[in-house]
Structure 1
Amino acid sequence: MHDEQQPLTGFTVGVTAERKAEEIGGLLSRRGARVLYGAAMHTVPLPEDGELASATSEVLSAPVDIAIAITGVGFRGWLEAAEANGVRDRLVEHLRSATLLARGAKAKGAIRGAGLLEEWTSPAEESAEVLDHLLARGVSGARIVLQVHGDPMLRFQSELRDAGAEVVPVTVYRWTDPLDLPALDDLIDAVLAGEVDALPFTSAPAATNLLNRADRTGRGGRFRELLREKVLIACVGPVTAAPIAAAGLPYVMPDRARTGALVRLVAEELPKLGR
């Protein structure tokens, strides 16, 4: 029988987030959980990212026919990084003559926030719909700038190139291994030792890198087996869940893609499963 206020008493939850680690850990601890921290990835700060600066220079090197904003936070982040490097105004003017497309409402808001105007927004807010729209209109000979956010969208890029376009990807947020790799290895070992009852995820890169790290260190097979059989995996939303689903692992997901809802879901589901 678990305390209604602390339903996670007796359970151990692993936190793989970097930016939201303290917030998630605090919410779990208040519900009685023992929390193990092992950030699964590190986000490279935008002004320090030489690859982003190089991509921006490439965008500015020739006229742009079509520019695609995939995420609002990514498009705004790109302009903020350009401002830090002294080329924001030049970049905005450079994109003004391009046909601007938005994957969804937030991307459209970021375009308009920059004083630009989009021609079309995906009604379903899906990348696949943006790709279909582009292929239907024809892109042969077009120079297309694609703002990507985390996922490199390689298939999206290759289909545009196969249709005759030049594609300039601009990766706004880039992830690397975590700054504290031993902590991540310790968390993987804790899962292998049967000490971890749940793993909540708030980002796809964290889920991807956790699995990759287990594979790279020769622990992948057994690690996946334990995740499948012994660990409750909770993903904040469908984008975060994609690498978990691709690995064939079961997971649960809250109705709303919010950190608080994710923790509440873990607190509801874990006691039902028992140890």
Structure 2
Amino acid sequence: MTSEDLPLAGRRIALPESRELDLFADMLIKRGADVLRCPLVAIHDAPDPAPVLAWMHTLISQPFDRLILLTGEGLRRMLALAEREGGSLQADFIAALEGIPKLTRGPKPGAALRKVGLKADQVAVAPTTEGVIETLKGESLRGQRIGVQLYGTDPNRRLVDFLAGAGAEVSTVAPYIYADDVEDAQVEALIDALLATEVDAIAFTSATQVRRLLQIAKRREQGEAALLSALGRIKVAAVGPVVADELAACGVQVDLMPESSFFMKPLVRELVKVLGTR
């Protein structure tokens, strides 16, 4: 095979991804890369489904005037919960969703809607909380009942306070939680590999991964500064603006990110563009 067939030959890339780790790794391996797998976080259903089910029943019986979906994961979790509950809940939920104007933060909730034959009525001008707020700034929200599907358990006070300040009645739901997916020792091993510059790049696909890595680094003798220095010696990739903003807030320079479509395939293309053999 030629370098064109395996453009990432000789490159080692660290992957802190969890949910689609094998898919992400396979895309890179097929292009010749060696991958270091270290899933930093896992996603689980909300431990108490009762509030999620109550929110869904409210959406069905008293449809919101507007629905804001921040993640595709949240919608998928609610649909799966409705399916497990049985009866007509899932069909009723999808039917109610169809009649509600839906604003998505980015492409992933839009993709989750399409899986059940629906589509977003609005897409935020940027796939961030600020993008959602900017999209709604010119609209009259007073008196509206607005449902908000949250990102994990983050209460997103910035968005909720904006909506409440605009006169809306806000109802939030948190269908899933983040949990540590690996023992601290495995995260330590990833940090050691970064400190030793044993990888050419690390590709982050969620802001939670960034926070988890920095959290463990702070406990170490070398501290956070050593990790930040190590990240400055390799290429740091972000799947999209939310992750890039988190990295920047931590003092990490982002070297590559897809320009518009914030998914793994475009991220792989950017890694090939920057790290590919010439």
TM range (shorter): 0.7 to 0.9
3-state SS of paired residue (1:253) = coil
What corresponds to 1:203 in structure 2? 206
Q: Aligned pair in 2 of structure 1 residues 77, 194: CA closer, same or farther (>3 Å)?
A: same
Aligned residue type for 1:12: R
Paired with 1:9 and 1:241, the residues of 2 have a C-alpha distance of: 26
Q: Distance in 1 between the 2:193 and 2:159 partners?
A: 37
Q: Does 2:275 correspond to 1:270?
A: yes
- TM-score, length-scaled by structure 1: 0.74
Identity over aligned pairs, percent? 29
- Structure 2 equivalent of residue 66 of structure 1: 65
The 8 Å contact of residues 14 and 35 in structure 1, kept in 2 or not, is answered as: yes
Q: Is the 8 A contact 2:14 2:36 kept in 1?
A: yes
Contact 2:103/2:124 (CA < 8 Å) preserved in 1?
no
Deviation at 1:74, TM superposition (A): 3.5
2:218 counterpart residue number: 215
SS of the residue 2:101 aligns to: strand
Out of 252, 264, 270, which is 2:256 matched to? 252
- For 1:38-187, list aligned pairs within 5 A: 38-44=38-44, 46=45, 49-58=46-55, 60=57, 63=62, 65-70=64-69, 71=71, 74-86=74-86, 87-88=89-90, 91=93, 100-103=101-104, 120-122=121-123, 124=125, 127-128=129-130, 130-132=132-134, 134=136, 136-140=138-142, 142-150=144-152, 152=154, 153-187=156-190
2:20 aligned residue: 20
Deviations along 1:203-225, one digit per CA (max 9) or x if unpaired, are 33323322333235563221012
Structure 1: tracts of 5 or more residues without a match: none
Q: Deviations over 1:96-145 (max 9, x none)?
A: 88x53322687568668768898x52473655454356555444555432
Question: Which residue of 2 is the match for residue 35 of structure 1?
Answer: 35
CA distance, structure 2, for counterparts of residue 92 and residue 7 of structure 1:
43
CA RMSD between the two structures: 3.9
* Counterpart-to-counterpart distance in 2, 1:266 and 1:162: 42
Residue 240 in 1 paired to residue 243 in 2? yes
* Partner SS, residue 195 of structure 1: coil
Count matched residues: 266
1:23 aligned counterpart, secondary structure: helix
Structure 1 residues 130 and 39: CA distance shift in structure 2, 3 A:
closer
**Cα offsets for 1:227-264 (capped at 9, x unmatched):** 12x11112233333231233232221234544344334
User: Normalising to structure 2: TM-score of the pair?
Assistant: 0.73
| Partners of 1:52 and 1:170 within 8 A in 2 | no
